[in-house]
């Protein structure tokens, strides 16, 4: 089953998926807004900037024009930072055809509109054949064909199963889900908790603190998800607790690495810059903080991380505030 696939965005994740798909017999063309970066990909047959030491299959093609990449494609995969998804979609719209399946792998919430990325896609293309692909996955491992599991979620069961068939390999196992809201929120909001886990590590706290952050973190993620119409069972799966675990515990995680530097005392903007790639949690924290206020959901960890990264309080004050909150039964008003 050879499919023609256009990949929009040549960062680490777009590159890793391109390598996997090409190696699985599909015709893949990758495009990026950065022409210098594309030239480097073409010359080196490797993404030295974002995914070094992962060689490209001979069949992986580099496109210098977005039109050329998308023309004739069966699937258009968007792998751009969440805050740039709208503009990337705008740039591709002239070349998209109704029969093309749009796959989005970014994890975030748009800051100004507070919209999930599927909401942006349907705003632009009401009849879009949209699938979100998410789960506990580091590009560094997928690019090296290490065992990984992902979830393809769509409002249309057939589309999710179609992407499952196309993306699945001996090393990449794909599950399906119909809960687009829950899958998108789990992927976006876990980055906030990963920032917190990193801050905790940077401050020298131990496993106890991280376990508490992760457990109470998934609780408030699920609480917001429930309010917005997600299926609660999604948050106990790969795109909920699974993605949270990998992002809070691995040094591959940009959000955790950024958090560590903040916890050690570095200015948040300086820490973000030092990571060298987009730290989605820095943007999603702001958006989730505003969204939680808008819909009336209590998210204490998110609120304190928001205060820290916006330099309203320091990390030790945030810990003090979380630890001295009003006493509760663990499951009291869990999803209210």
User: Which sequence positions are flagged as catalytic?
Assistant: 190
* Separation of CA 52 from chain center: 20
Gap between the Cα atoms of 336 and 334, Å rounded: 6
Gap between the Cα atoms of 70 and 86, Å rounded: 17
HSE-up (13 A, CA, CB side) for residue 46: 9
3 state SS of 32: coil
Query: How does DSSP assign 173-240, residue by residue?
Result: EEEEES-HHHHHHHHHHHHHHHHHHHHHHHTT--HHHHHHHHHHHHHHHHHHHHHTT--GGGGGSIII
Gap between the Cα atoms of 40 and 308, Å rounded: 38
Beta bridge pairs of residue 29: 6, 61
- Cα 315 to Cα 60, 280, 305, 310, 324: the distances in Å are 45, 19, 8, 11, 14
Gap between the Cα atoms of 109 and 266, Å rounded: 25
Smallest CA-to-CA distance from 3 within 148, 163, 138, 231 is with 163
Q: Name residue, tokens 């928001």.
A: 306
Q: What is the largest CA-CA distance in the chain?
A: 60
């Amino acid at each position: 089953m050879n499919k023609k696939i256009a990949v929009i965005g040549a960062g680490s994740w777009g590159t890793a998926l391109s390598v996997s798909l090409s190696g699985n017999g599909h015709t893949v063309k990758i495009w990026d807004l950065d022409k210098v970066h594309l030239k480097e990909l073409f010359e080196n047959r490797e993404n030295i900037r974002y995914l070094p030491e992962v060689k490209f299959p001979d069949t992986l093609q580099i496109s210098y024009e977005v039109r050329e990449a998308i023309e004739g494609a069966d699937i258009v995969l968007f792998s751009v930072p969440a805050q740039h998804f709208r503009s990337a979609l705008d740039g591709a719209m002239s070349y998209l055809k109704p029969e093309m399946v749009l796959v989005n792998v970014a994890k975030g919430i748009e800051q100004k509109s507070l919209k999930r990325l599927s909401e942006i896609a349907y705003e632009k293309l009401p009849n879009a054949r949209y699938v979100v692909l998410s789960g506990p996955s580091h590009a560094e491992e997928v690019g090296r064909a290490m065992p990984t599991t992902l979830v393809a979620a769509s409002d249309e069961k057939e589309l999710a199963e179609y992407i499952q068939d196309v993306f699945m390999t001996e090393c990449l196992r794909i599950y399906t889900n119909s809960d687009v809201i829950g899958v998108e929120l789990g992927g976006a909001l876990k980055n906030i908790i990963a920032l917190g886990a990193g801050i905790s590590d940077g401050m020298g706290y131990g496993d106890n603190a991280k376990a508490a952050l992760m457990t109470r973190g998934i609780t408030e993620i699920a609480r917001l998800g429930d309010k917005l119409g997600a299926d609660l069972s999604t948050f106990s799966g790969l795109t909920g607790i699974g993605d949270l675990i990998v992002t809070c515990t691995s040094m591959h995680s940009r959000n955790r690495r950024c958090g560590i530097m903040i916890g050690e005392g570095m200015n948040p903007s300086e820490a973000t810059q030092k990571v060298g790639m987009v730290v989605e949690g820095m943007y999603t924290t702001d958006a989730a903080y505003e969204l939680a206020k808008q819909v009336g959901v209590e998210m204490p960890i998110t609120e304190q991380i928001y205060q820290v990264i916006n330099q309203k309080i320091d990390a030790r004050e945030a810990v003090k505030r979380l630890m001295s909150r009003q006493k509760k039964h663990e499951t009291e008003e869990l999803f209210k």
